[in-house]
Amino acid sequence: MKLNLRRWPAALILAMAILAIAPSSKSAATEAAWARLAQGGYTILLGYSRTPGGGEPLRPDLGDCDKRKSLTDRGIQESRRIGMRFAARAVSINSIYAGEFCRAIETAELAFGRRNIETKAYLNSIVDGGNPDVIPPELITAVEEFYGAGNLLMVTHPALIKAISGTTPREGEAVIIAPGANPGDKPRVINRLLLD
């Protein structure tokens, strides 16, 4: 049977063409993001993995993280998959910073092991009722001062990633950033990376 495209409305043909291209565009964008990370010198923002309903109190309990399960079973699996994705791509990570929330620390540890994860209060974002739209100057300084053959990875609250990137990251999505145009400027979003 031969299709007569002249009878099809132009909008339908355009919609079918977009759908045919979309999966390869996502794949190409993800490949471009991995290629950038292979060069090193970037900061990767990663939101913590899935958590049980209710979340944590605004003041994180630092003494309790070893005794409590902060992530759901799905969140635990997601964190491990993220680590495997980075290992499979042999992307070099120089330093790993995590917010002080147990869920951020647990995500980092499950994905990358307990090796030298440093907690940073400025990655908490909403502690003590802080404005989630404000980008802490310490984060801007850390991004500006990072130089290395590998990359800097920060596990933080999605609200802080939204303040930098303009959109809330999807679960399993990382945002790659670099210093702003001028010292003290908001970091620039370089790419997004789908990990899950």
Q: Each residue of 135-174: pLDDT tens digit?
A: 999 999 999 999 888 999 999 888 889 999 988 888 788 9
Considering only CA atoms, which of 114, 115, 93 is closest in space to residue 46?
93
Quickly state the pLDDT bin for 21 (edges 50, 70, 90): very low
Q: Where are the beta strands (DSSP E) in the chain?
A: 43-47, 93-98, 117-119, 151-156, 173-178, 188-194
Question: How far, in Å, CA of 178 to CA of 165, rounded?
Answer: 11
Average pLDDT of the segment spanning 12-41: 67
- Sequence letter at residue 141: T
pLDDT digits (tens, 9 = 90+) for 86-117: 999 999 999 999 998 888 888 999 999 877 89
**What pTM was estimated for this model as a whole?**
0.80
**Alpha-carbon gap, residue 43 to 151, rounded angstroms:** 6
Cα separation, 89 vs 157, in Å, equals 25
Look-up of token digits 């002249």: 6
User: Residue 154 CB: number of other CB atoms within 10 A?
Assistant: 27
